[in-house]
């Protein structure tokens, strides 16, 4: 068995997958290289749907190639910001919404998610996720925008109404080179 605590993104996904069953609708808010998209497509199966958002053409090409290699055709690739997810998915219908913030691995590091856009995307995610569903956010603060984004997200999450949401936050305390951190939000 592998050590999930050493691989933050896999830890985030392993918890997220417990909220998903075959036939569900889920959202990959930042498809990037397609790793999360494939995991979500596998979880919902042929009867489910994945909506995968990204603003970068290269992210879509990488995700499309990964999906093809795994034989998945239950994914709707959307070349728009995750802020628009409410335009594509009915309110309170998604079992899970996954954000893996920052920049595209191997891509242009000047193209990053930003605090304002991410907060708008998180508001859209809360409209999209169903009761009993989960919003998963993996943050990276090793760059200027990432640090500002994480601070804004944590302030936003702390202010969520506890009668409507549960919020958990995980960070790697003894890792010094800006490891990813995880925020989970479940809707009551």
pLDDT at residue number 108: 87
pLDDT digits (tens, 9 = 90+) for 10-50: 999 999 999 999 999 999 999 999 999 999 999 999 999 99
pLDDT at 7 over 70: yes
pLDDT at residue number 1: 55
pLDDT digits (tens, 9 = 90+) for 57-89: 999 999 999 999 999 999 999 999 999 999 999
User: 144: which 2 tokens?
Assistant: 């200027």
Mean pLDDT of 140-155: 93
pLDDT at residue number 89: 97
Which residue is associated with the tokens 């708008």?
A: 120
User: 179: which 2 tokens?
Assistant: 């490891």
Which one is predicted more confidently, 22 or 188? Answer: 22
Report the chain's mean pLDDT, rounded to a whole number. 95
The rounded percent of the chain whose pLDDT value lies above 70 is 99
pLDDT at 2 over 80: no
User: 167: which 2 tokens?
Assistant: 């919020």
Q: Which residues pair with 97 in a beta bridge?
A: 27, 135
Q: What domains appear along the chain, each with residue ranges and CATH number?
A: 4-187 (3.40.50.150)
What one-character DSSP code corresponds to residue 144? H
Give the closest residue to 26 by CA, choosing from 13, 37, 15: 37
């Amino acid at each position: 068995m592998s050590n999930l605590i050493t691989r933050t993104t896999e830890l985030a996904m392993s918890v997220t997958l417990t909220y998903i069953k075959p036939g569900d609708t889920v959202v990959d808010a930042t498809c990037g290289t397609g790793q999360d998209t494939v995991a979500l497509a596998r979880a919902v199966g042929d009867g489910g749907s994945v909506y995968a958002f990204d603003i970068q053409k290269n992210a879509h090409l990488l995700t499309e190639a990964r999906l093809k290699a795994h034989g998945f055709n239950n994914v709707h690739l959307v070349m728009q910001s995750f802020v628009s997810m409410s335009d594509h998915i009915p309110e309170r219908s998604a079992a899970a919404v996954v954000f893996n913030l920052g920049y595209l691995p191997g891509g242009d590091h000047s193209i990053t998610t930003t605090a304002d856009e991410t907060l708008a995307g998180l508001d859209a995610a809360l409209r999209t996720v169903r009761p009993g569903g989960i919003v998963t956010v993996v943050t990276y603060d090793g760059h200027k925008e990432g640090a500002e984004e994480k601070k804004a997200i944590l302030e936003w999450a702390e202010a969520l109404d506890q009668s409507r949401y549960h919020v958990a936050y995980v960070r790697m305390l003894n890792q010094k080179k800006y490891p990813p951190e995880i925020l989970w939000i479940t809707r009551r």
